Structure 1
Amino acid sequence: MMKYLLSILYSMFFSFLAFAQEEREWGDWSMWGDQGNGTYFNPIIPSDYSDIDCIRVGNDYYAISSTFQFSPGMTILHSKDLVNWQICGNAITDLTQVSEELNWSRMNRYGKGVWAGTLRHHNDRFYLFFGTPDEGYFMTSASRPEGPWEPLTHLLSDKGWDDCTAIWDDDGKAYFVGTHFSDGYKTYLFNMSSDGKSIDRKSTVLINIGNGREANKLIKVNGWYYLIFSEHKEDIGRYVMAKRSRKVTGPYNEEKQLALPNLEALEPNQGGVVLGRDSNWYFLTHHGTGDWSGRIVSLLPVTWINDWPIIGQVLPQKIGTMTWSGRIPIKEKERLSIKRSDDFDSEKLSLQWQWNYQPRKTKFSLLERPGWLRLKAYRPLQLNKLMYAGNTLTQRSFRKPENKIIVKMDVSNMTEGQKNGLCHFSSQHAAIGIVKEGNTRYLEYRKNDYITRGTQIRSSFIWLKSEWGLDGISRFYYSFDGDQFIPFGEPYPLVWGNYRGDRLGIYCFNDKTEEGYVDIDYFYYQ
């Protein structure tokens, strides 16, 4: 009897928590992800993993996330249960395969670069397709999601295309889908070679059209071909739609809205529909409006009604809406997580790191001082402009109740004109750092390249810190012993811009000469 009562109490407690989460305001969550009791709260990743696609291969799930101008490009995630994820690789090691505009020498693709893609598995091989708004469509493949991935193949060289997808049919024939957003958001289907390396422009079939229709995913379930996409309407918002056909080439005449816009949840809309290991269906999605935390990730159940995949909680009118909680699809002993801290003991950078644009390889090292990251200074493309200084090392920030970054630097080898430090950046930025003028080092606070001079730095070592919470207000600190921290600079509201949420960065540049360096002992992210 007691066991039965405890079970009821537990169920009531969880229902209360779930109700509380349903009623919360966007971004105001004290709990997220795996709760350790077989349940989870959305978001499952409160960080900028945008333009999600998801597949299952055996007992493993893999997802991709767009990376824009950051290198290496196209982050690949791995999970065993759809809730707990880790980074298992990045598919594009050299962004200059896309364009020289993505190199450190030009830095001319903010808001562009590697946009949304699709991940597929066929004949024991992984295939990645993605688009850029200026250069067109590309593909690469690998035998393992960790790589190595083949050099990029350029499928279509044309501006104004986005959000592609692909499918291999049961007879082995392959098809590619892409949206020409610069021509009225017309979505076309093309015949594709079996190796995924070419598409036939002459085979074009128009399968969808409508303002703002994008986020394409083509899947086959129970004899139906579903083109799942998102649609936007003024004064209504963005929401998930589907068209279906009995033939892959169409016509896709039947159409249905799968979920409400959910403006209060920042429009969950772009993602992948996947069959779980528990034989239930799920939608792994980002939330699409954007704020300082970027387009974060949630997991929603999928219910099939009249052969339509309804996303989220099913309302009486047979349409889906956002749900903030659920049971983890399957219990796993190992709980994967996205790494954030780094002590730089490896000979390679950890997978969470991405450079702002393709880096200048001779200007950083993990080998010259083992256990430290060495960043070597060189001139920015625009003097004293952090956003045009190459080799800024970045990772995504998180929207959690408490965040604390501490970076330990050895600044003893700085030279005249050198600047280095810890920054937050998106379309705007702020930073706490050190500058050397003559024989003297000073502390400085940067906000969009406006400088506030601070105290003189006599120590060889300095610790820099940023703290922020759910409000997205960062506060900077410095220390000479790693224990006692002193605030410096004004509070900085983190921002969204260039289709990205806030990024953390470690920078080093020199306006005067290509000399000097800074050594980083560790990057600690609580």
Structure 2
Amino acid sequence: MNNINPITKLDYPDPEVIRVGDTYYMVSTTMYFMPGCEILRSYDLVNWEHAAYVYDTLDGTAAQRLEGKENIYGCGMWAASLRFYKGVYYICFVANDMHKTYIYQAKDIYGPWEKYTLEGFYHDNSILFDDDGKIYIVYGNTDIYLKELKFDESMHLTDVGTDPEKLILSDKNEVYLGYEGSHFYKINGKYYIFLIHMPKSIGRRTEAVFVADKPEGPYYGKDVMDDDRGYRNSGIAQGGIVDTPSGKWYGILFQDSGAVGRIPCLMPVSWGKIATAEGKEACFPVFGADGKIPEEFEIEDLKPGYEYAPLVSSDDFKTDFSGAISSSFGFKPCWQFNHEPNLSLVKRDLKKGTVTITTDKISSNLVQAKNTLTQRTLFPGCEAVVTVDASGIKDGDYAGLCLLESNYGFIAVTKRDSSYYLVMGKRELETKDIWGERCDDEPFEEVECIPLDSPGVTLYAGVCFDSVTVQRSEHSSLIPNADDTVSFFYVTESEHPEQVKKLGSDHKLEFKLDHFTGARFGLFIYSTKEIGGNANFSEFTYSN
């Protein structure tokens, strides 16, 4: 089978995959986007579709609601552990803005999900329900710890309250990133811990596995995956393994892929032998072909002919999804809001197919804008088109289409001295390292501004993440020729739809840890002078 990897071509980092019967479920990090903790569904491990969101909102803090200049960029929900035990699904993750550990549990993957917190902060944790009735959680960074959990009288997971945490592994190498991203399993009587790290000697992420006869160790192991698939010296690591009904094993780990984000990759896993320090042998996973992902390998399709719903999608905004098992506040599930939305400021006209967003605060820039409606961008390139009616904006407002990240770019209608203009704006971070700059307050850099005869305009954004592999339509010139680059275009109401013109210049996108997510298309409005302005969005088209 050709062209398996990457499997979603979208930003789904820190994957955790389980199988229940003939269905695979994958959960990944959703950070500050809401609804959050998205679960995907598959029957072949290659093709995935949306199954559920675990929560609509998390704690409703001022920062989670983007009140004032507060935000949780780079924080929120991280690296969940997903388990199915005795008819109940359990999801455990930390939120770094709250420094809490959350557990959600449900009898159905589609919910309803019951929420509670676990005492303590268990970074990048993994839960194991042992076959002797004991429950363990493994967690940490550089130093990896084991702690025992139990059920309380309400059948919630809780600390046993007596045994202290036990240090079971420590990364003693010279590393840029110490061991983390734990995935803990018991397979054929042995205990396995899968971890990500970045040795300085290699200079990219690698995946390590350790095995022991008992949960507390001692553990013996090594690196099992050191491969970048020939892409940017970007290692593939962090994730776990899952078996098929016939007994085959596969691993799903993510790869840092530039501005598009972190994308999962699939690989076959076989079993070999490893010699322990005690001179014994233990079964040990072999990823791909000796740590390299083969370009071609067989998969097991548990539902041949099944048609998967796309993870990103066009939208005419004429359908209310509120009655669906899992939607995004009544929108298609491919949409997520940047932070917790204030739905009183978001109105829909299903007959006309419009979404109207109103402002209720003064913002210095795009990243402070409430109710930005987003979709992930697609590797290796993609385009988005949306029609904007900005007749309701006030002086100083900006309403349009953006590529949301810390190094953002956008095209937007604005109003100045009661006249309408179209602006291409961008933000370029001064820092050139991966960390970025959080909680910034500066306005954007205006690249080009032109007058508009009317406030109605159709806006376009074309993005290229890999100029070598992007497929270009003979009818499209929107996608740039440079990696991690976005270009913006427009057509006014009075012009023919084919009279698409470029505004501004190509803008370089960059993945930074201050946001920690891939660039997303966003429909937005924000006010710089007076609140209460609004904009209508309609006819959103997504293509690649």
TM-score, normalised on structure 2? 0.82
Aligned length: 472
How many angstroms does 1:491 deviate by? 0.4
- 2:71 is aligned to 108
2:498 corresponds to 1:483: yes
Q: Mean Cα displacement is larger for which, 57-66 or 447-456?
A: 447-456
CA contact (8 A) 1:442 1:455 kept: yes
SS of corresponding position for 1:258? strand
**Number of the residue aligned with 1:140:** 104
Do the aligned residues in 1 keep the contact of 2:2 with 2:295 (CA within 8 Å)? no
The AA in structure 2 aligned to 1:509 is Y
Rounded to whole Å, the distance in 2 between the matches of 1:186 and 1:124 is 29
Q: Is 1:327 the counterpart of 2:298 in the alignment?
A: yes
1:387 matches 2:367: yes
Contact kept, 8 Å, 1:84 with 1:335, in 2: the verdict is no
d(CA) in 1 for partners of 2:491 and 2:228? Answer: 44
SS at match of 1:292: helix
Matched, 1:377 2:359: yes
- Take 2:128 and 2:24, find their aligned partners in 1: how far apart are those partners? 18
> For 1:398-448, what per-residue CA distance to the aligned partner results, in whole angstroms no more than 9, with x for missing partners?
112x42211112222223332111011222111001001232111011111
Which residue in the other structure is 2:221 paired with? 255
- Check whether the contact 2:136–2:146 (CA below 8 A) recurs between aligned residues: no
Number of the residue aligned with 1:17: none
- SS of residue in 1 equivalent to 2:294: coil
Match of 2:478 in 1: none
Cα displacement string for residues 313-367 of structure 1 (whole angstroms, at most 9, x for unaligned residues): 13xxxxx223333233226201313232222122211112121111122111225
The equivalent of 1:198 in structure 2 is 158
Q: Does 1:71 align with 2:34?
A: yes
1:50: Cα distance to partner?
Answer: 0.6
Unaligned runs of 5+ in 2: 173-177, 274-282, 321-329, 428-443, 467-482
Conservation of the 8 A alpha-carbon contact between 1:39 and 1:327: no
- Counterpart pick for 2:413 among 424, 434, 442: 434
- The answer to whether the Cα contact below 8 Å between 1:375 and 1:518 also exists between their aligned partners in 2 is yes
Identity %: 27
Letter in 2 for 1:137: T
Q: How does 1:82-481 map to 2 (within 5 A)?
A: 82-96=45-59, 99-105=61-67, 107-134=70-97, 135-150=99-114, 152-158=115-121, 161-179=122-140, 181=141, 184-193=142-151, 195-203=155-163, 204-210=165-171, 212-236=178-202, 237-247=204-214, 249-260=215-226, 262=228, 264-265=230-231, 266-287=234-255, 289-306=256-273, 307-314=283-290, 320-330=291-301, 332-336=304-308, 337-347=310-320, 348-367=330-349, 371-380=353-362, 382-383=363-364, 385-400=365-380, 402-448=381-427, 449-469=444-464, 470=466, 471-480=483-492, 481=496
Q: CA deviation at 1:370?
A: 5.2
Over residues 154-192 of structure 1, what are the superposed CA-to-partner deviations in whole Å (9 max), with x where a residue is unaligned? 21344xx5210101112333222221x3xx533232323
CA–CA distance in 1 between the matches of 2:160 and 2:55? 24
The 1:376/1:325 distance shift into structure 2, 3 A limit, reads farther
CA contact (8 A) 1:132 1:162 kept: no
2:521 maps to what in 1?
504
Show CA shifts across 1:270-307 (max 9, x none). Answer: 112000234210001111x4511211111000001121
Residue 440 of structure 1 aligns to which amino acid in structure 2?
Answer: S
Partner SS for 1:488: strand
Offset from partner CA, 1:49-100 (integer Å, 9 cap, x none): 1111100011110001101121112121111110010112221211326x54
What amino acid does structure 2 have at the position aligned with 1:281? W
Question: Do the aligned partners of 2:169 and 2:219 also contact (CA within 8 Å) in 1?
Answer: no
Q: Cα distance 1:59–1:368, how it changes in 2: closer, same or farther (>3 A)?
A: closer
**CA deviation string 1:357-413 (max 9, x = no partner):** 111221112258652211112324x42x1111211111211112x422111122222
More helix by share: 1
Looking at structure 2, the residues matched to 504 and 388 of structure 1 have their Cα atoms a distance apart, in angstroms, of 16
Which residue matches 1:32?
Answer: none
TM-aligned CA deviation for residue 479 of structure 1 = 0.5
The offset of 1:460, in angstroms, is: 4.7
